[in-house]
Amino acid sequence: MNSTASALNQLKTLTTVVADTGDFERMKEFAPQDATTNPSLILKAAQQSNYQSLVNSVKAAHPGMQPSDLVDYILVAFGLEILKIVPGRVSTEVDARLSFDTKATVAKAKHLIALYESHGIERKRILIKLAGTWEGIAAAKELEAEGIHCNMTLLFSLVQAAACGAANAKLISPFVGRITDWHKAKLASNWNDANNGGANDPGVTSVKRIFHYYKHFGIATEIMGASFRNASQILELAGCDLLTISPELLAELQSSNATVGKKLNAANAQSALNAEHITALKLDESSFRLQLNNDAMATEKLAEGIRNFCIDTEKLEALLAQ
């Protein structure tokens, strides 16, 4: 097989490919443009023996520091190593426990940026990850106005995406796989891969809807599909601005020579929105909260995602306390 014809290399001609991992040693082989991390990925990497020296060096550099404060230095230490590998940006997540506190989120984001800048990293190479809550989106608006770029995560609905666009967030990360998980659990034995997978996958159609909304209304925020369960979901979103992919799925795409075609096209935006009777959404706070509340999947997955990131942040703190 000609290596230039791999599905991964074909995908790179249509979409910016991003590595979704804290395991920076593994991402080298896939030559991604950017990389994303989150508390769960950093916890996973920090438990690997090959990263013990990095964790220990951070602890040694800050003796007596509380684990809750040390976490930021660990996140940045991994981010700095990742930036030696990727030519573009790294995403570093704000503590999920601050998801409903705009002021504290802004302060934490500025602290993370200051840590990167103290190592000579320009802020344009950092994306601060914030939860797609009303408070997180309000924080993004404030941060973007100061030149601190944000990656809005735990994003499961069009109203979250539209509000992020209105806040001038640099980038959003709609979670494909987790949306699919919810619908699969809901349908149970009625789920059928032939009918509910591929182009009809609910996670895929959610990102397409956001893509069409952004392109139709001229929203500059970048769309980065995230949280994939299989390669099919990735290939169905070829043409999306960016896609962030786990090392396991990057390896699968690299070893495949399947033909990859462009699936998302801005030229189809208006007809796609018309077909779904979608018009500009109301985005004041009460309208946002009501629309999000009325979307059971988005409400449940957002709450679950924040809970799980909180749990993994606490596990990381416990690891650092040892």
pLDDT band of residue 218 (cuts 50, 70, 90) is very high
Q: What tens digit of pLDDT does each residue of 291-308 get?
A: 999 999 999 999 999 999
Segment 161-187, tens digit of pLDDT: 999 999 999 999 999 999 999 999 999
With 50 as the cut, is the pLDDT of residue 89 above it?
yes
Rounded Cα gap, residues 32 and 322, in angstroms: 34
Cβ-proximal residues to 180 (8 Å cutoff; 6+ apart), any chain: 201, 202, 203, 204, 229, 233
For residues 82-89, average pLDDT: 97
**Confidence class of residue 4 from pLDDT cuts 50, 70 and 90?**
low
Q: What is the pLDDT of residue 5?
A: 85
Strands 222-225 and 126-131: unpaired
Distance CA 248, CA 30 (A): 11
pLDDT tens digit sequence for 22-58: 999 999 999 999 999 999 999 999 999 999 999 999 9
What would the mean pLDDT of 222-236 be, rounded to a whole number?
98
Domain boundaries, the chain: 3-321
pTM for this structure?
0.96
Give the range among 1-5, 96-100, 208-212, 250-254 with minimum mean pLDDT. 1-5
- Average confidence (pLDDT) over 311-319: 96
Would you name the residues annotated as active-site residues? 129
Average of per-residue pLDDT values in the chain:
96
Buried b (16+ CB within 10 A) or exposed e, 1-21: eeeeebbbbbbbebbbbbbbb
Confidence of residue 2 (pLDDT cuts 50, 70, 90): very low
| Model pLDDT, residue 178 | 98
CA 26, 28, 33, 39 torsion-angle sign: positive
> Regarding the domain delimited by 3-321, which CATH topology (the fold level of the hierarchy) does it fall under?
TIM Barrel (3.20.20)
Residue 139 has pLDDT above 70, yes or no: yes
pLDDT score, position 290:
98
Q: What is the pLDDT of residue 3?
A: 46
**What radius of gyration, in Å, describes the C-alpha atoms of the chain?**
19
In this predicted structure, the answer to whether residue 120 has a pLDDT above a threshold of 50 is yes
Mean local confidence (pLDDT), 251-270? 97
The mean pLDDT value for 242-246 works out to 98
